[in-house]
C-alpha cells in the first residue's frame, strides 16, 4: 500500500464498522485513504459486545423491527429511516458473512444464533458470542489491509475540514482535511474529492464512559465548524451496566446479559426494575439507566448489582465468555455472584444531519455511523441498531459516491498548513486541567437527570473553557490532546444548547423542570453560523490556518 498519497478520491476519517465497511464497498478503481487516530482497528466498534439487529427468523418481521425502533425512539425516530434500515438489515448480515465474520451459530453450524435484547419483541440479534464488534472489526481490518487501492494512515488525527467556503472560494464543497501525523508531529493537507466522517460519537465528554479514549466528537465538531447542521445532541445514551471497579475503566456488561435472564438488584439483594417498567430488565436503556441512577441516589449507593448466577455455569460461559473472564480478572465470578454495575455514557444519538445516502449540508462531505444523525435513533437508540446503522449507511454512501465518480472533480491541491506564527507550548497543564474540568462538569450538570439550573451552570463554565481553549489553540502548535479538547468543548456546548432547547422529558433527555412529554415534538436542529475564512481569528469556532493551518 502507498503511504505517500496526499490526494484521494475518497478520504474516510474513522475506522470502525462504518469506515472500514465503506472502504470495502467502494469501487476498486478509486483512490481511498483511511484515517485512524491509533491502530487501524481501534474504535468503539471494537468494543461492541451485543450484536447486529436483523430480521432473519420466520416468526419475526421487518414491520416488528420498525415498530420496536419507533417505540424506543419515543416519538422522534423518522419512520422512513427506520424502514430504510430494517429492510436492508438482512443484506448487511449476509455481506458480513461473505467477509467471513465468525458469527455464533446453532448446533448445526449453519443457522445463525439469534439472541434478544431490551426493547426487541423478538430474537433478532446476530452476534459473535459477546464480542461481536471485535469479530467484525478484526475481520474488516484484515480485508482492508489486503486492498492495494486503500492507503491506511494510522496514528493520524483530523484537525479540520478544508472547504471551498472557508478558503474564500465560491460554492460549498469539501476539498479535503488537515490531519496531524502523530508520529512525525506535523500537520498534513490531504485533498479529496469526497470526505466521509466515520469518526464515532462524543461520549468522552463525560467523566464515566464505556467508550475508548478516541470518542471525542471530532467529526461532529469539524462538520459544525465547516457549516453543517447538527441534530438531537441532547440525547446521550447512558449504558445502564458498566462494571464498577476502579481499574475497569470502561468495561460494559452487555445488555444481552439481561436479555438472557440477568436481574438487577439493590445492595440488599432485592429487585427493583418491576417498579419502573412492566418490561423490568428488558425495558429500553434510558428507562433502566434512569432507574439505576434513581435508586443509587435514593440509597446513597456507589453501585447496584447485575445477577445472572441463577443460570447454569456452562450457559454463562458459552454466552458470555469475554465478560466472564474480565469480571474474574477483577475478582467477580458471575456464575456464582452478582456483579457491581453503574451507568456510563455510551452512545451519541444525535450528530451531523444527513440524508439516506449519508450526504451532509456540504457537497462532497458524508457522515456515516455514530457521528451522524439519520433519524434512526430518535430520542433513544434501540439495542444493536447502531452497528446496523453503520453497515447500512456505509453501503448507501458507497453507492452514492460510486454513482457520482464521473462528475467533474475539484482541484487536487489545497493550501498547506501554516504554523509560522505559533510556538511549542510550555503549559501542557492547561490542556489536562481543562480536559478534566470539562468532563466532570458535564457529568455533574448534564448527566442522566437534568435541570435548567444545572444546564445554565454548565453553559457558563463551558463558555469560559472554550474561550481559554480558543486562545491557547491560536498560539501553540496543535497536539492530539489539544485537538480533542477543542472538539470536546464544542460538542459539550452543542449538547447543552440542545438540552436547553427541549422543554420536555423524552427518551434519553430527562429534566426535573419538565418531567412530562409534550403532545407534539420534533428533532432539535442547531444551525451553525456561516463559516468564516481561515484567515479570521474572531469567529470563536475556527482559528485561522493563517495562524495555524
* 156-192 pLDDT tens trace: 999 999 999 888 787 799 999 999 999 999 999 999 9
448 close to 505: Cβ distance less than 8 angstroms: no
- In the chain, which residues fall in CATH 1.20.58.100? 429-548
* Strands 32-35, 7-13: pairing kind: parallel
pLDDT in tens, 202-233: 999 998 888 888 899 999 999 999 999 999 99
- What average pLDDT score do residues 321-327 get? 92
Whether residue 532 is predicted with pLDDT greater than 80 in this model: the reply is no
**Phi and psi, residue 203, nearest 5°:** -65, -15
* 547 has pLDDT over 60: no
Indicate if the pLDDT at residue 540 is higher than 90: no
Mean pLDDT across the stretch 409-432? 78
Which amino acids are annotated catalytic? 285
Residue 53 and residue 120 in contact, taking contact as beta carbons nearer than 8 Å: yes
The yes-or-no verdict on residue 462 having pLDDT over 90 is: yes
- Which of 5, 447, 549 shows the shortest CA–CA distance to 206? 447
CATH number of 241-346: 3.90.700.10
| pLDDT surpassing 90 at residue 539 | no
Tens digits of residue pLDDT in 19-42: 999 999 999 999 999 999 988 877
Residues 200 and 387 sit within 8 Å (Cβ to Cβ): no
Average pLDDT over residues 455-460: 98
Over residues 508-514, the mean pLDDT reads 95
Q: Report pLDDT for 17.
A: 93
CATH level 2 (architecture), domain 429-548: Up-down Bundle (1.20)
Using the predicted structure, report yes or no on whether residue 467 has a pLDDT greater than 60.
yes
At 426, the pLDDT band (50, 70, 90 cuts) reads low
Question: Could you give the CA distance from residue 85 to residue 188 in angstroms, rounded to a whole number?
Answer: 36
Of 384, 318, 401, 368, the C-alpha closest to 93 is 384
Look at residue 423 in the predicted model and tell me its pLDDT.
74
Q: CA 124, CA 382: separation in Å to the nearest integer? A: 12
Distances (CA, A) of 471 to 249, 434, 491: 32, 13, 18
Q: Are 394 and 32 in contact (CB under 8 A)?
A: no
Q: Decide if 517 contacts 505 (C-beta within 8 A).
A: yes
- Comparing CA positions, the residue from 139, 7, 17, 8 lying closest to residue 395 is 17
396 - beta bridge partners? none
Span 315-327, mean pLDDT?
Answer: 93
CA dihedral 487→454→376→55, nearest 10 degrees, is: 110
**Residue 167, all three cell numbers:** 478558503
Quick one: pLDDT at residue 292?
Answer: 93
Among 238-247, 361-370, 538-547, the least confident range = 538-547
Q: Does position 512 have pLDDT exceeding 80, yes or no?
A: yes
Question: CATH 3.90.700.10 residue ranges in the chain?
Answer: 241-346
pLDDT at position 538 over 60: no
pLDDT digits (tens, 9 = 90+) for 274-287: 999 999 999 877 78
Taking 50 as the threshold, does the pLDDT of residue 468 lie above it?
yes
**Average pLDDT value for residue range 448-473:** 94
Query: What mean pLDDT comes out for the span 484-493?
Result: 97
The residue-averaged pLDDT of 195-205 equals 96
Closest CA to 370 of 249, 242, 236: 236
The pLDDT value recorded for residue 251 is 82
Inform me whether the pLDDT recorded for 549 exceeds 70.
no
Measured CA to CA, the distance from residue 333 to residue 468 in angstroms comes to 47
Q: Which of 127-141, 261-275, 497-511 has the lowest mean pLDDT?
A: 127-141
Q: Is the pLDDT of residue 57 over 50?
A: yes
pLDDT band, very low/low/confident/very high, at 537 (cuts 50, 70, 90): very low
Grid cell for residue 108: 448445526
Greater confidence, 151 or 44? 151
Per-residue pLDDT reduced to its tens digit, 283-308: 877 789 889 988 988 898 989 999 99
What band does 528 get if pLDDT is binned at 50, 70 and 90? Answer: very high
Higher-pLDDT residue of 190 and 440 is 190
Q: State residue 360's pLDDT score.
A: 98
pLDDT for residue 2 is more than 70: no
Over its C-alpha atoms, the chain yields an Rg (Å, rounded) of 22
Mean pLDDT of 125-153: 92
Q: Is 480 helix (H, G, I), strand (E, B) or coil?
A: helix
The rounded distance, in Å, linking the Cα atoms of 289 and 285 is 6
Amino acid at each position: 500500500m502507498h503511504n505517500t498519497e496526499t490526494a484521494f478520491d475518497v478520504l474516510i476519517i474513522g475506522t470502525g464498522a462504518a469506515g472500514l465497511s465503506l472502504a470495502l464497498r467502494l469501487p476498486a478503481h478509486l483512490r481511498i485513504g483511511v484515517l485512524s487516530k491509533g491502530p487501524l482497528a481501534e474504535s468503539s466498534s471494537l468494543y461492541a459486545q451485543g450484536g447486529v439487529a436483523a430480521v432473519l427468523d420466520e416468526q419475526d418481521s421487518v414491520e416488528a423491527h420498525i415498530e420496536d425502533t419507533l417505540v424506543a425512539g419515543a416519538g422522534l425516530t423518522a419512520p422512513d429511516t427506520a424502514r430504510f434500515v430494517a429492510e436492508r438489515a438482512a443484506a448487511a448480515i449476509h455481506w458480513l458473512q461473505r467477509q467471513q465474520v465468525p458469527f455464533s451459530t446453532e448446533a448445526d453450524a449453519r443457522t445463525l444464533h439469534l439472541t434478544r435484547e431490551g426493547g426487541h419483541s423478538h430474537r433478532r440479534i446476530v452476534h459473535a458470542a459477546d464480542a461481536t464488534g471485535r469479530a467484525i472489526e478484526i475481520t474488516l481490518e484484515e480485508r482492508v489491509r489486503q486492498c492495494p487501492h486503500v492507503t491506511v494512515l494510522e496514528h493520524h488525527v483530523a484537525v479540520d475540514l478544508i472547504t471551498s467556503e472557508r478558503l474564500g472560494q465560491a460554492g460549498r464543497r469539501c476539498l479535503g482535511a488537515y490531519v496531524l501525523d502523530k508520529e512525525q508531529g506535523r500537520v498534513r493537507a490531504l485533498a479529496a474529492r469526497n470526505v466521509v466522517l466515520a469518526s464515532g460519537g462524543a461520549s468522552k465528554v463525560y467523566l464515566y464512559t464505556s467508550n475508548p479514549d478516541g470518542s471525542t466528537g471530532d467529526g461532529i465538531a469539524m462538520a459544525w465548524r465547516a457549516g453543517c447542521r447538527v441534530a438531537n445532541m441532547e440525547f446521550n445514551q447512558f449504558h445502564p451496566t458498566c462494571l464498577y471497579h476502579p481499574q475497569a475503566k470502561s468495561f460494559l456488561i452487555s445488555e444481552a446479559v439481561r436479555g438472557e435472564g440477568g436481574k438487577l438488584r439493590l445492595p440488599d439483594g432485592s429487585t427493583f426494575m418491576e417498579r419502573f417498567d412492566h418490561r423490568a430488565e428488558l425495558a429500553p436503556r434510558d428507562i433502566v439507566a434512569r432507574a439505576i441512577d434513581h435508586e443509587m441516589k435514593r440509597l446513597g449507593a456507589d453501585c447496584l448489582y447485575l445477577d445472572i448466577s441463577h443460570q447454569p455455569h456452562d450457559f454463562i460461559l458459552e454466552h458470555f465468555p469475554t465478560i466472564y473472564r474480565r469480571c474474574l480478572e477483577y475478582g467477580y465470578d458471575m456464575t456464582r455472584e452478582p456483579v457491581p454495575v453503574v451507568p456510563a455514557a455510551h452512545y451519541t444519538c444525535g450528530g451531523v444531519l444527513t440524508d439516506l445516502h449519508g450526504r451532509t449540508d456540504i457537497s462532497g462531505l458524508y457522515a456515516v455511523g455514530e457521528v451522524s444523525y439519520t433519524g434512526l435513533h430518535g430520542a433513544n437508540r434501540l439495542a444493536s441498531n447502531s452497528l446496523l446503522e453503520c453497515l447500512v449507511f456505509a453501503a448507501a454512501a458507497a453507492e452514492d459516491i460510486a454513482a457520482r465518480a464521473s462528475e467533474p472533480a475539484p482541484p487536487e491541491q489545497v493550501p498547506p498548513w501554516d504554523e509560522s506564527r505559533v510556538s511549542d507550548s510550555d503549559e501542557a497543564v492547561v490542556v489536562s486541567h481543562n480536559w478534566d474540568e470539562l468532563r466532570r462538569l458535564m457529568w455533574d450538570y448534564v448527566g442522566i437527570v437534568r435541570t435548567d439550573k444545572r444546564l445554565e451552570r454548565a453553559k457558563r463554565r463551558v463558555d469560559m473553557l472554550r474561550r481559554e481553549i480558543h486562545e491557547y489553540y491560536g498560539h501553540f502548535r496543535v497536539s492530539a490532546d489539544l485537538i480533542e479538547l477543542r472538539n470536546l468543548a464544542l460538542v459539550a456546548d452543542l449538547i447543552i444548547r440542545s438540552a436547553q432547547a427541549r422543554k420536555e422529558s423524552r427518551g434519553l433527555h430527562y429534566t426535573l423542570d419538565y418531567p412530562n412529554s409534550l403532545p407534539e415534538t420534533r428533532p432539535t436542529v442547531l444551525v451553525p453560523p456561516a463559516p468564516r475564512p481561515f484567515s479570521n481569528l474572531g469567529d470563536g469556532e475556527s482559528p485561522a490556518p493563517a495562524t495555524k493551518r
